A and B are shown apart, each in its own frame.
Chain A
Amino acid sequence: MLFNSLEFMLLCLCALALYLAFSQLKCGRSMQVAVILVASIVFYGWGQAILLPLLLGSSIFNALIARVLSRQDSPQKALVVIGVIGNLLCLAFFKYGGLLATSISGQENPSWAGIDWGNIILPIGISFFTFQGISLVIDVYREKELRTHLAKQSLGRCLLEVVTYIAFFPQLVAGPIVKARDFLPQFKRVTPREIHWNLAVRYLIIGFFLKMVVADNLKDFTVYLSHDEFGALKPIDLLFALFGYSCQIYADFAGYSLIALGLGALFGYRFPCNFNLPYISQSFSEFWTRWHISLSSWLKEYLYFPLGGNRMGTWLTYRNLIIVMLLGGLWHGAGWNYLVWGGAHGLLLASERALIKGGFLPTSQDSPLILKILQGLVVFTMVTILWLFFILPDFSSFFLYWQEVISGSLSFSPNILFGIVLFSLPVVIHHFYGILKSPPERAFDQQGLLNYRVVSWAEVPLLGILLACIILNYGSAGSFIYFQF
């Protein structure tokens, strides 16, 4: 079910009405959690009910492990290992089984052990809910407070809350990836007065604007890149289409994340910030603190640090960065293009670190303004070029793309140029507005969770204009790019 669909709007309104009605009851907390869980099941099962057992099975598996761990005085590491391996196996089977089987066998549709490996269905959001499952078992193992929190509850309530944490519909299919220690303590009875309506509406409007007006309109111009015949485009069109795709993927994913934040706020929950004006980054390391923050932070905490982080010497730090980014790339999809994309980002991060360490590159804070701007342009250009691995139909098209760009004339198609410039403009303005306004970091607390603050009066007419743009100028509906991951 898409956020920008009528069915979702109805589901959300019904769930919210019930949710608020239960706030007055004595057993309101459990009833409210149950409402969220049922809504999440309907949301996920809509049109693909066959995948529900997987989501529920995975959630219950993680909940049971968390429950057992929470009742142990000194939690067993073996149980955590089982939990992590269980989640990874689930992810590996559904997401990478096909790639592995086709790569090993050399066949397009290998069949082995009664499984047609080339046609395994990829469950929507599997990368997100398995990562939340891993976060749950590790956090419960590490954090005494969380164990106490879970141990105090009855088995039924513990299962209900943990399954809801993993399946909570606003963030189920495309994040933000919420860590268990940040989310589980938030379960409580929520009354209408405790809901920050202004903030929820603000995030919903900006999120829907980015998705429906910016991303959905840009999609009609950048779609040419995903077809085999993209070479028919003129060189300047190709460059503009790439720029447009960079803005589209941002608007699509940041829009989704903002809608998720808004929906979470409607039900009284806080999610971590997922985007913080990534295209103003002056270094690749800064970019990864601003783009898909919940994934970067997850990878840092559960992969980079356990690998040794930057504490094991220069070369091992570079190795760790490249490993983390390679796996981060693979997380996006089972394909060599994603591996190359992740590897390229890993190499950029390692080279940048080496250059700064060698004194060849100043840190962003030390740079003069002009150099900061140049650094920002280099980072944006490189990041944008690497998005080609996300949209081009196949790996070899990357070279074909550049061949077309450098071999052609300076002519262009006015309609493509018009559409891309017009619909990319909000992304550019959004970044400038963000720089000029207050530092957006202030909107979030130390855990990266949303800080509630009142929407300023000056923003109200602006939000009204955005709402009017959604009504008057929304594009043809398209699914969210990150759903496929």
Chain B
Amino acid sequence: MILTALAVVVLNWGITQPLGLKADFSAAGLQSNFARIDLLKSAKKRGEDAHITLLGSSMIGRLLPRFFPPENGLILNLGMDGGGGNSALELFMNSGLHTEIAVIELNGLGYEVTSQGAEVIEYESSLEADLRATAPVLSYQYRPSDMLYTRLKSWNDNRSPGRLIESPLEDKDVPLTKEQKAYFKELGITIQSRANRVVFIEIPSRAVPNRYIGEYLKNLGHQIIKMDDFDTDQLRLTDQIHLNLPSAKLVSRSLVKQFKDE
């Protein structure tokens, strides 16, 4: 029995490694987040700083590391499904890692850490996460069910027409309070201590961010990439807010090009 179990585990590893198969997503958002934490912890364990770190919600989570050219180094994506941007920022800051470019999603910025986000933060410090980072075969990226889901999602996103980006879901443009301004100012300074370059990005979606946040950050001298900077006619959503994978690839490539041009 134990031999059979070992054989199955080794077979899973033996097939997935040479073929480069791994899960980019899990059907359950929480476990997609855990997979991202496994990669963060594994980078921390190796002491490997990231070239680009993507921070935010599930919207930026669609910009998969494999969409970026591999030659520049490690790409970390901490786009938290259901977690909001704050949990991603907290996780990155706690990791002690540095990054060349920190790309922070504006859409989910300024919200409280959600219960799912809190669960992810708790997972990050758990023994289980340490174990998964030590033995990659146990990592969420190699869960057979998630690898299957990733294949199905890729197939579905490539096959289905997707939805055009229409008018924003709701008008959330509210002037910032004094406390919020202090928070965003502090955020910029804190992130700059871990990143050589900080870029705030408005991910193409119907869930648009409060424009006052972008304006304020721009006044502070931060670089802002807006939705208008992308060719939105080419972009499609799977639902009302998330880019489908081909569109996420376009956005990722466009980002890389912009970084190179500058």
Contact = CB atoms under 8 A, between A and B. Distances in A.
Q: Real complex partners, A and B?
A: yes
Interface of A: 6, 201, 205, 217, 220-221, 414-416, 418-419, 422-423, 460-461, 463-465, 467-468, 471-473, 475-477
Contacts of B137: 472
B159 to A, nearest CB: 12
Contacts of B175: none
Nearest to B25: A415
A427 to B, nearest CB: 15
Given A418-B152, A464-B8, A217 B28 contact: yes
Given A6-B127, A463-B1, A475 B31 contact: yes
Contact of B143 (A418, A460, A467, A473): A473
A418 B146 CA distance: 10
Contacts, number: 79
Contacts of B27: 221, 415-416, 418-419, 422
A471 B1 contact: no
A471 B30 contact: no
Nearest to A6: B127
Given A418-B27, A419-B28, A475-B31, A460 B4 contact: yes
A220 B31 contact: yes
A468 B5 contact: yes
Contacts of A201: 1
Residue picked from B6, B12, B27, B119, most chain A C-beta under 10 Å: B27
Contact of B1 (A217, A460, A475): A460
Contacts of A217: 28, 145
Given A6-B127, A418-B149, A468-B9, A220 B28 contact: yes
B31 A464 contact: no
Contacts of B31: 220, 475-476
B145 A422 contact: yes
B242 to A, nearest CB: 11
Residue picked from B138, B145, B149, most chain A C-beta under 10 Å: B145
Contacts of A6: 127
B149 A415 contact: yes
Interface in B116-173: 119, 123, 127-128, 137-138, 142-145, 148-149, 152-153, 156
A468 B8 contact: yes
B1 A472 contact: no
A423 B26 CA distance: 13
A173 B10 CA distance: 37
A464 B145 contact: no
Nearest to B115: A227
B174 interface: no
Nearest to A421: B27
B143 A221 contact: no
Residue picked from B9, B28, B142, most chain A C-beta under 10 Å: B28
Given A418-B27, A464-B7, 10 more contacts: A220-B28, A414-B156, A415-B153, A416-B27, A419-B149, A471-B9, A472-B12, A473-B145, A475-B31, A477-B128
B180 to A, nearest CB: 25
Given A6-B127, A416-B27, A473-B144, A465 B5 contact: yes
Given A467-B5, A468-B4, A476 B145 contact: no
Nearest to A461: B4
B34 interface: yes
Nearest to A466: B5
B59 to A, nearest CB: 16
A416 B28 CA distance: 7
A472 B4 contact: no
B123 A461 contact: no
B2 interface: yes
A49 B72 CA distance: 54
Nearest to B11: A468
A205 B137 CA distance: 20
22 contacts: A6-B127, A205-B1, A220-B29, A220-B31, A414-B156, A415-B153, A416-B27, A418-B149, A419-B145, A464-B4, A464-B8, A468-B6, A468-B7, A471-B9, A472-B12, A472-B137, A472-B138, A472-B143, A472-B144, A473-B143, A476-B30, A477-B128
Contacts of B123: 476
A415 B28 contact: yes
A422 B147 CA distance: 13
Contacts of B9: 468, 471-472
Contacts of A463: 1, 4
A463 B6 CA distance: 12
